[in-house]
Structure formats: structure tokens, C-alpha cells
Amino acid sequence: MSLDKTIKGLKTSFSKELSKSKTSKDLENFRIKYLGRNGQLASLFEEFNKLPVSEKPRFGKELNILKNQLTEHYQNVLGNKSENSASSDIDFSLPGYNLPDGNIHPLEQITSEIKSIFQSIGFSVAYGPEIDDDYHNFEALNVPKHHPARDMQDTFFINPNAVLRTHTSNVQIHLMENQDPPLRHICCGRVFRNEAVSYKSFCLFNQVEGLVINETSSFAEMKGTLEYFVQEMFGKDTKMRFRPSYFPFTEPSAEVDIWNSKLNQWMEILGCGMVNPNVLSNVGYDNEKYQGFAFGMGIERIAMIKYGIKDIRLFYQNDKRFLEQF
């Protein structure tokens, strides 16, 4: 058979078989038969190599035109099949996949609840830098150079004058430096401590601290504020007590405990006190005219008490079995 007849026969059989190819598998088998590396079109090019030199120009042109025509025809049919494949290969009446719903992290839930409680009694929310200088993290808060918190075992120092903040109290200093009294804010965010990781301690945790500065604030007002918070967070019947304590940035200072009826014991939840006059002086306030109170709590501790969680590390392991419970 001459090459002319072979080319003509290939065009005819190509069109007939392509029209009969209905599925993706049929089309792939068809492609291999005609357009594949060892397909019928490739065989024609092998025959072309055996032709006399005088005939090669004409047949070479015809074969290239044929290749382009067949490939274009196949691609057009393949494109049409792909557009219509939904009706033939996919049953849209079948139920879809059920994707699991996400949950708000328990720490974020507690943080939002704490913010909502204090915002309901006139507090604004403030944020500040997680990396701060020694002055705002320590000195301005009446923490002297020789204080144990300066030790490398307790604080992450980036350089001799920059630290990962050890509390959100640094935000209070920034607030007082940039605003005149009265102030009524809570400060939220992550803090960092160079502590051994265990079920009850971690190298970072979240804090909420409160600050009130005006001309009339008192210890009694602070007690009433914190009693309101405890009742809203843990329930109206929650028992609480104030114990004397010490913090360099407040004087007098106290810690607040609540009664855990399940464990039959008191549990400390936060520290508080009247702002030390030295702190007010450090930010340029007249400590004869202004006074205030401050308090601070760890969000993880509040969440652990409220939800009965016994290991702080669970908050940071991204274990879905734990997170899906909230």
C-alpha cells in the first residue's frame, strides 16, 4: 500500500474510532493507539524515513499537516468530553463530604469571656509589645537591678537591654506614659518565662492585667471589682478570699483565692494591690494626687480551674481530641 493510501486510511479510521470513544479510559486508549510513541502516526513517520530523497519533501509536509490535524481533532473532542464529564463521571445526587467544624481555642474562649466581663464595667482593652526594654519590663515597675526576676534563669534576655516580657505590666507603663489619668484598662497578651516545662508550668502563657488610675480609687473598690469578676466567671455562689502578699509594683498587695469544692481546697487565681507610688512617679504622675489599683491573672490557670484541666501543656499540643471538647 502506498503512503498516500495509508495516510487517507488513517484519517478515516481516526475519525470513526474517535467518535466512538465515550469515556476517559476510551480516549486514553485511543490516544495511545494513534498518537502514542508507538502509535500508528509514529509508524507513518518510520515509513517516511524509508522513502527516496526526492519524495520526502512532499510526504514530510503532508505528515506534519496530518499530525497537527489529528492532534487538534483529538484535543477538541477531549475538551468537550471534559466539559461534559460531570454528567457522565460524577453523580451530583450523592451526598458530599462532611467537613468537621472548627472550634475556638479554649484559651481564646476564656480570654474573650474575661474581656467581656471587664468591658461591661467600663474597662478598655489595651495591647503592647512582647519584646520590650529593661526599663518598661522591670525598672519602671519598681523592680530593681538586684531583683531575682532579672536572673537569666527566670527571664529570656534577647540582649542586655531587651527581654521577652515576663508580664503584661509593661503595657501599663506604656499606657501611663502616653495618657493622662483617669485610666481604666485591661491588658491582654502572651508572656514568657524561662521555666522548666511540666504539667503545671510552661515557657509561655497568657495574661490579663487590669489597671485603674484616678484620684479616688481605693482597695475597697478593687475588692468589689474582683468580687464581681469572680462571680461572673465562676458563679454567684463562689467563695473567695484575699490574702496579704508582696509585689514590687503594688503596695499593699494581695492574692485572691477561690474555693474549689471538687478538690476541697483554696486555689489562687490572681494577684492584686494598690499601685506603688514609685511606679506613679516613674511615669510622671503626681503620686500625691493620683492613686490606683492593679491586678493580674494567668488565662491558662483560669481555664484549668474552670474546665478541670490538669496539664497546662494540653493547650499547646494541638491535639484535636482535647480541643474538640470546647
Element (H, E) at 297: strand 291-298
Cell triple for residue 116?
467581656
Q: Which residue from 230, 182, 216, 218 is spatially nearest to 293, judged by alpha carbons?
A: 218
Residues 6+ apart with CB under 8 A from 81: 24, 27
Cα(273)–Cα(256) distance, integer angstroms:
10
Give, to the nearest 10 degrees, the angle between helix 56-83 and helix 24-35.
170
Q: Quote the pTM value.
A: 0.69
Please name the CATH architecture into which domain 106-323 falls.
Answer: 2-Layer Sandwich (3.30)
Cβ contact 21:27 at 8 Å: yes
Cβ contact 48:59 at 8 Å: yes
Cα(115)–Cα(233) distance, integer angstroms:
11
Per-residue pLDDT of the chain (326 residues; tens, 9 = 90+): 466 677 777 777 777 777 777 677 777 777 787 777 777 777 777 776 777 777 777 777 777 777 777 777 777 777 665 555 545 566 778 888 888 778 899 999 999 999 999 999 999 999 999 999 999 999 999 988 887 766 655 889 999 889 999 999 999 999 999 999 999 999 999 999 988 889 888 999 999 999 999 999 999 999 999 999 999 999 999 999 999 999 999 999 999 999 988 889 999 999 999 999 999 999 999 999 999 999 999 999 999 999 999 999 999 998 988 988 88
